[in-house]
Amino acid sequence: MSAGRRDIADEATAEAFARLFDHRASVREPLPWLYRTAFRVAAAELRRYDRLASGEAPDARADLQSALPSDVTAVLAELSPPQRLVIFLHYYAGMSIREIASLSGAPSATVKVRLHRARRTLRDRLQEEGVARV
């Protein structure tokens, strides 16, 4: 979800747990609440980073850290934060559509659409780069 930016992922996770601690009396389901909060914090930080990067050096995203190949990371960074989230939760965390919907607070149909569009974008962009075959 954090486009390969480990610092943003770590910060969003820590912030989500801190906010959960502050709201612990009113949160009934902590896990979905944590995911939604971390997602929102990371998305806000990525938007802030993109605004700052637009006025900086040509390749301001050169510091992306990832265990994935750089071409895959670059394509993932082009996806919207909600699309990266569903890709991560579905393929990395092994969650079902229903589980992702519960954690993200989005309807199942929205999760399906995001996953479909993210897959299509990944496939098309990786084919353009010569990384993937149909």
pLDDT tens digits, 21-74:
888 899 888 888 888 888 888 888 877 776 666 654 444 444 444 556 777 778
Q: Cβ of 68: how many Cβ atoms within 10 Å?
A: 12
- Cβ 106 vs Cβ 77: under 8 Å: no
- Average pLDDT score over residue span 86-100: 86
pLDDT tens digits, 115-134:
999 999 988 988 887 765 54
Domain presence at residue 84: yes
Domain presence at residue 98: yes
Domain presence at residue 1: no
* CATH number of domain containing 72: 1.10.10.10
Rounded to an integer, what distance in angstroms lies between the CA atom of residue 39 and that of residue 85? Answer: 8
Q: Cβ of 3: how many Cβ atoms within 10 Å?
A: 21
- Cβ 42 vs Cβ 80: under 8 Å: no
Which tokens in the block code for residue 76? 């993932």
pLDDT in the model for residue 62: 46
Domain presence at residue 133: no
Range of the domain at 102: 6-128
End-to-end CA distance of the chain: 25
Whether residue 107 is predicted with pLDDT greater than 90 in this model: the reply is yes
Amino acid letter at 106? A
Domain presence at residue 134: no
> What is the number of structural domains in the chain?
1
- Average pLDDT score over residue span 107-122: 93
Domain presence at residue 15: yes
Which long-range CB contacts under 8 A does 86-94 form with residues at least 24 apart?
86/111, 86/114, 86/115, 86/118, 87/115, 87/118, 87/119, 87/122, 88/1, 89/35, 90/115
Domain presence at residue 105: yes
Domain presence at residue 111: yes
